[in-house]
Structure 1
Amino acid sequence: MLLRDKIASSLKVAMKERDATRLCTLRLITAAINDLEIAKRGCEEGAQTPVSDEEVRTILAKMIRQRADSTRAYEEAGRLELAEQEQAEVEIIEGFMPRQLSDDEKAQAIQTAITDSGAESIRDMGKVMGLLKQRHAGRMDFSTVSPAVRDRLVS
């Protein structure tokens, strides 16, 4: 089953259960997917290019980052009820993402990528990151992995 279909199925269940938070979040996800599909169509009439699961995961990851930033901003401003709402949306969105690697698994993946790519210095960081993105797309936050890779290559 495609990820898009799982989201649509969850949307129907949320409607039946009258779960307002989940329903609203799933509608936002669906709207973002539809926006991407329309953008992919471009100027060509009738050209159907379905959105892939990888593109949906990219949308979901972006939505998670946006909500994490909003949560921090709301907490700093003392708006805890809004921060809780954003956090609830993050949890719903994360339910459609693949399981994230643990810290030990990330460290092992980084070491394996360094070994497999033959990286010896900081100049080889692009090779290592490319290999990590190819092997572990959607399963790790590359903004936090990048400093760890840099540290391993420098030392």
Structure 2
Amino acid sequence: MSLKDQLSEQQKNAMRAKDKARLGTLRMLMAEIKQKEIDSRETLDDDGIIAVITKMVKQRKDAAGQFEQAGRQDLADNERQEIVVLQEFLPQPLTEAELDALLTQAIADTGAAGMQDMGKVMAVLKPQIQGRADMGKVSAIIKARLA
């Protein structure tokens, strides 16, 4: 079953259960996927959908942080609830050991010797870790290794 089918099925289940918060988040996600498909004029595969979900999770984390700084804990809590629903559809996060092994392999495969090769390493890693690790943290680790 494709990820899009799973999302659709979960949306139906949320309707049946009258779970308004979950239903709203799933509808928002499906709308974002549909918009991305319309913009690119192609149907998204599971990897494309994971990229959309990852982007939405990042947006929600940023928004929650801003709401907390503004003293709006109620809005921050709503964002965190949406994050929980969205993360259900992301693959299992990588452990530190798995991430370290992938980084070592990518650096070896590209023959990266310095910071100028960081783009090559990221290009190799991104498809493997999309949605499974924070790309900002991965980027910092790569910078530390190549420096």
Structural mapping, 1:31-50, within 5 Å: 31-41=31-41, 49-50=42-43
Matched with 1:7 is 7
In the superposition, the TM-score normalised over structure 2's length comes to 0.93
Alignment counterpart, residue 123 of structure 1, candidates 112, 116, 127: 116
Alignment counterpart, residue 50 of structure 2, candidates 57, 64, 71: 57
- RMSD of the TM alignment (CA)? 1.3
2:27 aligned partner, one-letter code:
R
Q: What do the CA deviations read for 1:25-75 (whole angstroms, capped 9, x no partner)?
A: 00001111111222233xxxxxxx322112111111111011001100111
Q: Distance in 2 between matches of 1:138 and 1:126?
A: 19
Q: What do the CA deviations read for 1:82-130 (whole angstroms, capped 9, x no partner)?
A: 1111001001001001111123322222122112222121122122111
Task: Give the count of matched residue pairs.
Answer: 147
Q: Cα distance, 1:7 vs. partner?
A: 0.4
* 2:104 is equivalent to residue 99 of structure 1: no
Q: Distance in 1 between matches of 2:28 and 2:107?
A: 38
Paired-residue identity, %: 37
Consecutive aligned runs of 4 or more in structure 1 exceeding 6 Å deviation: none
Q: Indicate how the Cα distance of structure 1 residues 120 and 40 shifts in structure 2: closer, same or farther if over 3 A, else same.
A: closer
Matched with 1:89 is 82
Q: Distance in 2 between matches of 1:151 and 1:125?
A: 11
1:9 aligned partner, one-letter code:
E
* 2:107 is equivalent to residue 152 of structure 1: no
| Structure 2: stretches of 5+ with no match in the other structure | none
SS at match of 1:51: coil
